C-alpha cells in the first residue's frame, strides 16, 4: 500500500495569515505552472479574418495545412485568398489550381470559379501553362 500524503489545513491557513520562513520555503519549492499554450485558430475564426481582410501568417499557415489535408472549405477559402491577395500576394494561377482541388472535393461552384479565373484572370502565358500541365496528365 502506497503511503498517503496528508496536508495540514491549519498549517496552510497559518501560511496565509502569518507566513514564516517555512511557508516561504514551501512556496519557493513548488513548481510554477507555465503559461497556457496559445489556442490555435479555428476555421470560422480564420474566415472572419478573411472577411475583414486581416489574415496573418498564422492563419495562412492554418489554411495551407488544412488544404493540404483536403479540407474542402479550407481549400475554397485559401483559393479565394490567393485570388484576391488576402494575407498573401495575389496569385490567380495558384487560385485556379486550388479551385480545381476544391471541385474534386465536391465544393459547390468551385468548377465555375475555376473557369471564370481561366477566362478572366489568367494571362495568356498562364493559360498556356495550364494547357501544358493538363496535357501532361
Asked if residue 14 is part of any domain, the answer here is: no
Asked if residue 12 is part of any domain, the answer here is: no
- Mean pLDDT, rounded, of the chain: 86
Tell me the per-residue pLDDT of 12-68, one tens digit each, with 9 for 90 and over. 556 666 767 776 776 676 677 777 666 788 999 999 999 999 999 999 999 999 999
Q: Which domain holds residue 63?
A: 43-135
Q: pLDDT higher for 55 or 137? A: 55
Rounded to two decimals, what is the model's pTM? 0.71
Asked if residue 64 is part of any domain, the answer here is: yes
Asked if residue 130 is part of any domain, the answer here is: yes
All cell numbers assigned to 26: 514551501
Q: Give the total number of structural domains in the chain.
A: 1
Asked if residue 93 is part of any domain, the answer here is: yes
Residue 6 has pLDDT above 50, yes or no: no
What share of the chain has pLDDT > 70, as a percent? 80
Asked if residue 23 is part of any domain, the answer here is: no
User: Could you give the C-alpha distances from 134 to 57, 94, 105, 109, in angstroms and in order?
Assistant: 31, 14, 18, 21
Are 97 and 126 in contact by the 8 Å Cβ rule? The answer is: no
Q: pLDDT higher for 5 or 104? A: 104
Indicate the length of the chain as a whole number.
137
DSSP letter assigned to residue 107: -
Amino acid at each position: 500500500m502506497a503511503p498517503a500524503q496528508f496536508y495540514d489545513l491549519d498549517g496552510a491557513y497559518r501560511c496565509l495569515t502569518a507566513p514564516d520562513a517555512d511557508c516561504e520555503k514551501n512556496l519557493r519549492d513548488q513548481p510554477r505552472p507555465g503559461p497556457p499554450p496559445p489556442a490555435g485558430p479555428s476555421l470560422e475564426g480564420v474566415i472572419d479574418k478573411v472577411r475583414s481582410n486581416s489574415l496573418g501568417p498564422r492563419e495562412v499557415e492554418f489554411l495551407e495545412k488544412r488544404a493540404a489535408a483536403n479540407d474542402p472549405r479550407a481549400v475554397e477559402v485559401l483559393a479565394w485568398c490567393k485570388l484576391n491577395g488576402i494575407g498573401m500576394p495575389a496569385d490567380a494561377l495558384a487560385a485556379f489550381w486550388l479551385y480545381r482541388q476544391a471541385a474534386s472535393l465536391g465544393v459547390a461552384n468551385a468548377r465555375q470559379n475555376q473557369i471564370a479565373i481561366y477566362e478572366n484572370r489568367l494571362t495568356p502565358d498562364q493559360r498556356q501553362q495550364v494547357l501544358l500541365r493538363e496535357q501532361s496528365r
